[in-house]
Chains A and B, each alone.
Chain A
Amino acid sequence: QSVLTQPPSVSGAPGQRVTISCTGSSSNIGAGYAVHWYQQLPGTAPKLLIYDNTNRPSGVPDRFSGSNSGTSASLAITGLQAEDEAHYYCQSYDTNLSHFWVFGGGTKLTVL
């Protein structure tokens, strides 16, 4: 059971827009801690996609965007491409003693 909750899977056709949600609580996202997003292509290490809720590292296309509100955050991908098919993870910081950096369970994006 992950501290941050993501849908197990989402899908979309090429060119479409999809969103992936990340639901937390008052001890992490709701406490104002930033949300970061990672993309993990099959057989590779995670890659930072969005940091501090809305910022894209150099080289990440502007088709990827992040937002958050209250205890939740979202990753939006517009103009879906076949190479976007991957697992996506949200991450935040949690103030409970049992956790520090916490990840969502991951969402598998399928491009139809």
Chain B
Amino acid sequence: EVQLVESGGRVVRPGGSLRLSCAASGFTFEDYGMNWVRQAPGKGLEWVSGINWNGGSTGYVDSVKGRFIISRDNVENSLYLQMNSLRVEDTALYYCARFRASSQLLPDAFTVWGLGTMVTVS
């Protein structure tokens, strides 16, 4: 079964740091680009960051540039998001999402989603 399982979310103070993880299974992880998407309580979806198959290409939404770092380990089949200098407005459910077919950062749909991990900055 194709699956993504996020972990690492918790309550953290403003200015603090957190590292989110996403464990992938059921597919060849290194064949796909991956993303983090967040959803603030009662709000819509916001793409946060993406990474290509080997980590050589990454992208970030402006609001997290310089504070968040996306990375991956194709041996461990895991995706990570290092979150530094956290702000109250970073409070959200963070989803890990896989591209439908692309290994690169291309305009592809997100076809596999985890259940999310909650980050609360307060």
Contact = CB atoms under 8 A, between A and B. Distances in A.
A69 to B, nearest CB: 18
Contacts of B50: 100-101
B76 interface: no
A34 B107 contact: yes
Interface residues of A, number: 28
A103 B44 contact: yes
A91 B109 contact: yes
Nearest to A46: B113
Contacts of B100: 48, 51, 57
A93 to B, nearest CB: 3
Interface in B23-70: 35, 37, 44-47, 50, 59, 61-62
B94 to A, nearest CB: 11
Nearest to A99: B61
A70 B47 CA distance: 24
Contacts of A89: 44-45
B47 A45 contact: no
B95 interface: yes
Given A38-B45, A89-B44, A105-B44, 12 more contacts: A33-B107, A36-B110, A46-B37, A52-B109, A57-B100, A93-B107, A99-B61, A99-B62, A100-B59, A101-B50, A103-B47, A104-B44
Interface of B: 35, 37, 44-47, 50, 59, 61-62, 95, 100, 105, 107, 109-111, 113-116
Q: Identify the 6 closest CB pairs spanning chains A and B, nearest first.
A: A93-B107, A51-B109, A36-B109, A101-B47, A45-B113, A106-B44
